Structure 1
Amino acid sequence: MRVGGWAADAGLGVIFAAVLAFWAYRIADSWGGGYWGFDCAAGAVVCVIALARRFDPARAAAAGLAVAATAVLAARFADLPSEPGPGMALGLAVLVGTAVRALPVVTTCGVAAGGLAVATGSLLTAHTLAAGVPSVTAMNVLVWAAAVVAGLFPRLLDARRRAVAEGVRRAERLRLARELHDVVAHHVTGIVVQAQAARLVAHKSPGKAGDALAEIEAAGSDALAAMRRVVGLLRDPDEPAARAPGGPGGLDGLDELGELVGRFEAGGRAVRLRLPDEEETATWPPEVAGTVYRVVQESLTNISRHAPHSRSVTVSVERDRETLTVEVADDSSRGPSRHHQRGGYGLIGMRERVEALGGTLRAGPRPGAGWSVRATLPVPRSKALPERARR
């Protein structure tokens, strides 16, 4: 036990002794003789048990309640002053409050119910029932209620803190899971696509195999650098992380999305890219810009993995007043298992990113043929600027 705990128990022991002495004096003054002895002895036993509660709160509470119940029955049949007296009631309050604060729910309910039964049990030993609820009974019930509240309040605070902490940990795990998925899935998919292209080149034009291998090497280096950024963040969360694509400062003009699409086009697919003016993208909040980049990145990764026979892709980012719409669509043919294949962690991560900003995400087959991922994000109102188109 800490020094503060010993000091608190020492102060509590002094209070117990003062209350027991005061009540013994009152009994001796009103009842005379040695009637005070039983109350003082029984109350002292419960108070000592209360001081030892830290070693085993459940057993201490059970022992204290047993002693108090025995005292009530003894006072009833031996015609002694009402029990439990103030000293015993105070000791029981400490035991009940500790139980409510620290013990499991079932045990806590049992101790609290036992405390209430003992408090109301003083009606059996009351000598003035005709005048209404005896003052001793009212005092015992009030002390019991105060003990329950005193134990329940910090218990609820602890539960709320745990819930908040768990929510923060879960949000952080999901954030890291999204980042790892985005980094690993995108870069590894690029490496796989480049390796497949290298195999074809090696058969048809062996002299160009070196260029394909260089592309694989570059994709591997990018993957390694991205993984190092994420691992560095995990190892030292206080260290500022390198800016991720689409992070603070917008999208570096439109170059980052252009580079992303350019790497995808290197796989042999034509991409039509429609973007707002660079000056407008610079006004987007960092979290919006980052989400736009990740949605496009994950959508292109899914096309590489699940729609290898698609011939053209359209990437569109449009602004309409306070709504930003991001859509990535391909022209691949429908397959019976395509929806299942695209229901992995990538779509889950995209939906979490979009919904965290108050937006919506829809992914599914397009009318006729192809697949579309469409995200809408709320953005602050700004001056509308014309669109431009790229190929």
Structure 2
Amino acid sequence: MTSALRHRVRPLVPAIACLVDLMLCLTQEGNRSEVAVPLITVAVCATLFARARWPLAVLAVHLGWSASVTVVWESRPVAGLLVALYAVAAGRPARLSVPGALLTTLVLCGQLDLSAESWRGALFYVSVAALLAGGTWGLGRRNITLRAEAAAAALRVERLRIARELHDIVSHALSGIVVQAAGAQAVLPTDPGRAARALTAIEGTGAQAMDEMHRLLGLLRSAGDDDAPRLDRQPGLPDIGTLLDWARDNGLTPTTVVVGEPGRLDDSTSLAAYRIVQEALTNTLKHAGPGTAVTLRLAWSDADLTISVEDHAGRSPWAAGRSPRGGYGLTGLRERVSTVGGTFRSTALDHGFVVSARLPLARHDKQAAAAAVR
């Protein structure tokens, strides 16, 4: 049962349990003239609406009612009692729910008229009562297991996302630091001022990367906690201009081409677009080196954004048929684009390498996008 369907059915459970217990009550000849029994049954079943908040109290009410009505009026309400037991099993630890299941079994056995049965018949009915209570308890415990598994799966997804963000941050920062450090070393004897500017750029890049890593590592340490910190703002398409500035500072020559009327992207899709450009520029700097011309193309349509980053590095190592070392960046991009419903391609060309992706626009009404690049 899906979560949405479960939320729709949940408010109907008390009414269904009340209807079943009323039918059981009214089928007893001795109870047809008793007005009190159906009225109290409705009142007791109404407590099931509070079963999520006070499951133990609700179960106690149903145990008391079921036991007393069996003795006084010889009625046998079952449905409400089982629903209350399920709520306890699904929301409380076993040390509390197991005694509830045992008491429920005793009450169900007390509702049976075993005096007229042979020992085999009595054993059969007692077994049925135990199976009803035990099966209900087991279903409730299974609900706890499913919730725990869903929480663990969500935690794994979150940690993988954070690991992917760390890769992007570290790879991007270190590539710039290596290039700037090499340049500073080369010009230090002849141009100390230029070397100082390169060292300043290294300091700024390192500090920014450290800030982002601290935030992500804080999330990783506290993932799964209710009071875990959240990233207030993730980068997105409007921040691509800072990536282009970074590329220029590190010796690349980026050119931007925008086609079509900009549309609106979801936050996750906008982050994917940012990471595509970031990874492509980082890999261009790492494998083709400073002085490489790069073309960023944003092609908007009514349904999607096609984004491509193409470098013109001549006969680069990529064009020779070798992928970037490790390949984790492009693999991560492919997974990231897939999760937002897009498609991703990376292709070696004679003159360089191109990374492209098709990203769907937000399903909401189209809005003008902020100017992402200049």
TM range (shorter): 0.5 to 0.7
Please tell me the residue identity of whatever aligns with 1:87.
Answer: L
Aligned residue pair count? 272
Paired residue for 1:352? 335
Over 3 Å counting, the alpha-carbon distance change for 1:384 and 1:15 in structure 2 is closer
Residue 26, structure 1, aligned to residue 116, structure 2? yes
- In the TM superposition, structure 1's runs of 4+ consecutive aligned residues that sit over 6 Å from their partners are none
Residue 315, structure 1, aligned to residue 269, structure 2? no
Residues 1-391 of structure 1 correspond to what in structure 2 (within 5 A)? Answer: 2-13=95-106, 15-16=108-109, 19=112, 22-23=113-114, 25-27=115-117, 39=119, 83=120, 85-88=121-124, 90-91=126-127, 94=130, 98=134, 150=136, 153-154=139-140, 157=143, 160-234=146-220, 238-246=228-236, 251=238, 256-275=239-258, 280=262, 283-308=264-289, 311-332=292-313, 333-335=315-317, 339-341=322-324, 344-366=327-349, 368-380=350-362, 382=366
Over 3 Å counting, the alpha-carbon distance change for 1:163 and 1:18 in structure 2 is closer
Over 3 Å counting, the alpha-carbon distance change for 1:343 and 1:320 in structure 2 is farther
Conservation of the 8 A alpha-carbon contact between 1:318 and 1:326:
yes
Aligned residue for 2:251, secondary structure, equals coil
Conservation of the 8 A alpha-carbon contact between 1:310 and 1:331:
no
CA distance in 2, matches of 1:217, 1:180: 19
Conservation of the 8 A alpha-carbon contact between 1:16 and 1:91:
no
Over 3 Å counting, the alpha-carbon distance change for 1:3 and 1:318 in structure 2 is closer
Displacement of 1:345 in angstroms is 2.2
Displacement of 1:280 in angstroms is 3.7
Note the residue ranges of structure 1 that are not aligned, 5 or more in a row: 28-35, 40-82, 99-146
Displacement of 1:206 in angstroms is 3.6
CA distance in 2, matches of 1:5, 1:97: 10
What is the TM-score of this pair, normalised by structure 1? 0.59
Over 3 Å counting, the alpha-carbon distance change for 1:280 and 1:193 in structure 2 is same
What is the TM-score of this pair, normalised by structure 2? 0.61
Please tell me the residue identity of whatever aligns with 2:180.
Answer: Q
Note the residue ranges of structure 2 that are not aligned, 5 or more in a row: 1-93
The structure with more radius of gyration:
1
Aligned residue for 1:2, secondary structure, equals helix
Deviations 1:18-49 (A, max 9, x none): 64xx43x325xxxxxxxx6xx3xxxxxxxxxx
CA distance in 1, matches of 2:96, 2:267: 50
Paired residue for 1:59? none
Displacement of 1:287 in angstroms is 2.8
Displacement of 1:362 in angstroms is 0.3
Over 3 Å counting, the alpha-carbon distance change for 1:389 and 1:218 in structure 2 is closer
Displacement of 1:300 in angstroms is 0.8
Conservation of the 8 A alpha-carbon contact between 1:302 and 1:342:
no
